[in-house]
Copies of this chain bind each other. A is one copy, B any other.
Amino acid sequence: MTDLNVGVLGTGMVGEAIATRLVEVGYDVVMGSRDAANPKAVAWAERTGGRAGTFADAAAHGPLLFNATPGGASLDVLRAAGDLAGKVLADISNDLTSAAVKPVAAGLQAAFPELKVVKTLNTVNCEIMVRPDLLSQPHTMFVAGDDTDAKALVKGVLAKFGWPERDVLDLGGIDKAFAMEQYLPLWLALWGVKGDLRFNLSVVS
């Protein structure tokens, strides 16, 4: 287990985009799902040179995990992931139904006090998450979490994905994560009028 080992929880479109880009920029990645033989994860591993495993395999693989599971399922996923003490979880999930936005990151942090949860990347489409240079102008990525070292680790990955340091805005503790999550209805409305997923916010002064 090295500092370049990353576990990605989730095999959906977001998990695949993150895991693929992590491999691309030099990380050793295990994509975790409920079943180590998950066909999507196995196909991804064959295609990229990453590995497929269970949630516990992914969690055991390295010091940094990405939560790319649906927000409403994330707590159960982490409960299936074994010992998480001391690990950093970059939580990029959302839990949005037509009825309401529910908090994810703060709940995960409360349930796993020894896990260092960092909220980020949940405010853009997965293509923009890993290729911020696809937009024509500078745009902002938010980060929130209680542990400074954990945030530095995650910011390092953001930098490798192509997020310039000046565009990464640290909002403070994990109590700020729900503010990021509550932006999602506006993101959906913007998607509706723009008809394209390639957009993001820039905070302008």
Contacts and interface: CB of A to CB of B under 8 A. Distances in A.
B135 A182 contact: no
Nearest to A171: B189
A39 interface: no
Contacts of A186: 142, 179-180, 182-183
A189 B169 CA distance: 11
Contacts of A138: 204
- How many identical subunits does the complex contain? 2
Interface string A174-205: 00101110110110111011101011111111
Interface of A: 101, 135-139, 142, 144, 169-172, 176, 178-180, 182-183, 185-186, 188-190, 192-194, 196, 198-205
Shortest beta-carbon contacts, A-B, top 4: A179-B185, A179-B189, A179-B186, A202-B202
Chain A interface main SS type: mixed
Contact of A205 (B198, B203, B204): B198
Given A179-B188, A182-B186, A186-B182, A204 B171 contact: no
Nearest to A190: B203
A116 to B, nearest CB: 20
B190 A171 contact: yes
Contacts of A169: 190, 193
Nearest to A144: B189
